[in-house]
């Protein structure tokens, strides 16, 4: 894995987290639900991105 790839993934996940937080707050969810759903979405997509990046470099 290159440093450039990791920086790109981190940047994408930060943008995704901000988007999910805004969407949940617009739907008037409580802050706890908002944080939990954001962590789940970002965590799952992060796992898939890391697996995909590992397969690409092998």
What would the pLDDT profile of 21-39 be if each residue is shown by its tens digit?
A: 888 889 888 888 888 999 9
Q: Average pLDDT for residues 9-25, to the nearest whole number? A: 89
- Residue 4's region, left for phi above 0, alpha for psi from -120 to 50, else beta, is alpha
Looking at every residue in the chain, the average pLDDT score rounds to: 87
Q: Cβ neighbours of residue 34 under 8 Å, at least 6 residues apart?
A: 21, 24, 25
């Amino acid at each position: 894995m290159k440093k450039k790839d990791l920086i790109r993934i981190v940047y994408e996940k930060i943008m995704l987290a901000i988007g999910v937080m805004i969407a949940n707050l617009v739907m008037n969810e409580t802050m706890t639900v908002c944080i939990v759903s954001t962590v789940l979405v970002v965590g799952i997509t992060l796992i898939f991105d890391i697996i995909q990046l590992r397969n690409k470099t092998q």
